Amino acid sequence: MATWAGEFSRRGPGLLLRDMERGDFADALGPILDAAPDVLLLTDFDYDYDLLALGELRDLLGAGGLDYSYIFAQRPNTGMPTGLDLDGDGRLGGPRDAQGYGRFSGQGGMAVLSRLPLALELDLTDQLWCNVPDSLMIQEDPGFDIQRLSTSGHWALRAEAPDGPVILMTLAATPPVFDGPEDRNGRRNHDEVLLWAHWLDGRLLAAPAPAPEVPVILLGNLNADPDRGDGRREGVQAILSHPRLRDPLPGSPTVTWDSTGPMRVSYVLPDATLSVVAAGLIDAVPTVGPHALVWADLATSGGPEPGRSPSAAPLPGQ
């Protein structure tokens, strides 16, 4: 299982497909081909209705010897108009006025490539922020009655693995910065990070908790580090310590920004019942941003004892 916050996004609709077709993403194929994951979640990938850009990426990877029979993406909240002036700049229709930041509908959404059959188990993308358990949204928020929690989406996908199904809990949360003293993004990030924990704990009235006999795997960009940065760390700390999940790469930074230095924001957190055979990072490719690809090899049995993480995680192919 792998996730990557590589920057597969452009400033206008259709430009991602154009740039892929002319070869601009040749360098970006390397980390994916090296990892060769059975399932890959991309958390900054422009959405188009016919999945043309995602299909093009699949074809490019296929030409490199990595075949994905299944792809999945849905319209994200990014760029979806609210009709409100959420950022208070006196204008409507700006990228910060959307359900999730975006210059156009679908900018920087999520996308999945898989060798395993996929089915949508649960979609919480339209969940209103004000209605989630213990919501940190304030009553005075300009989008109180309309603002969705998910910046991009929260999809639970059922993947049919050889030893039985697993449920993939995906997300790409908003950065907990780029706001003011009201800390709107910080509060929203905190609640986005914890939404899957609420599902696991049976706290979402409209969505019963997943059956304990079906393993779950949380993967995506939480945009929060448990020890560093300006985010509300208690959210990511809670998900990392959730009894249903384990952390195969504790303390491993997944991105280095000039302004903050190394931080951990992308995660693959498997079910505690799954064995971690190996886990690691594949270095960022400068042409697609500073994020490393995060991967974990998992098994229902035969791996390290529960609760242990690999002390030395070899990269695939090395």
Q: Looking at residue 259, what is its pLDDT?
A: 85
Q: Where are the beta strands (DSSP E) in the chain?
A: 2-4, 39-45, 70-72, 109-114, 118-123, 154-161, 164-172, 216-221, 255-257, 261-263, 266-270, 275-282, 293-299
Q: pLDDT, tens digit, for every residue of 249-294?
A: 999 999 999 888 999 999 999 999 999 999 999 999 999 999 999 9
The residue with greater pLDDT, 308 or 177, is 177
* 2-299 maps to CATH 3.60.10.10: yes
In this predicted structure, what is the pLDDT of residue 306? 37
Q: For residues 177 and 126, which has the higher predicted lDDT (pLDDT)?
A: 126
Per-residue pLDDT for 315 more than 60?
A: no
What pLDDT does 205 receive?
A: 87
183 φ/ψ angles, rounded to the nearest 5 degrees:
55, 40
Distance of CA 203 to the CA centre of its chain: 21
pLDDT band at 316, cuts 50/70/90? very low
Count of CB atoms situated within 10 Å of the CB of 204: 19
Banded model confidence at residue 2, pLDDT cuts 50, 70, 90:
very high
Report domain extents, the chain.
Answer: 2-299
Local confidence band at 301 (pLDDT 50, 70, 90 cut-offs) = low
83: number of Cβ within 10 Å: 10
Q: What is the pLDDT of residues 54-111, one digit of tens each?
A: 999 999 999 999 999 999 999 999 999 999 999 999 999 999 999 999 999 999 999 9
> What average pLDDT does the segment 7-29 reach?
96
Q: What is the mean pLDDT of residues 152-169?
A: 96
Q: What is the mean pLDDT of residues 190-205?
A: 97
Distance, in Å, from the CA atom of 170 to the CA atom of 168, rounded to the nearest integer, reads 6
Q: What percent of the chain has pLDDT over 90?
A: 89
Six-digit token pair at 139? Answer: 């009553």
Q: Which of these ranges, 53-62, 117-126, 172-181, has the smallest mean pLDDT? A: 172-181
Averaged pLDDT of the chain: 93
| Structure confidence at residue 125 (pLDDT) | 98
pLDDT tens digits for 223-261? 999 999 888 999 999 999 999 999 999 999 999 998 889
Q: Which residues contact 255 (CB under 8 A, 6 or more apart)?
A: 5, 262, 263, 264, 265, 266, 284, 290, 291, 292
pTM of the model: 0.93
First to last CA, the chain: 18
Distance, CA of 104 to CA of 116 (rounded, Å): 31
Distance CA 261, CA 187 (A): 23
Segment 15-44 mean pLDDT: 97
pLDDT of residue 50 exceeding 70, the answer is yes
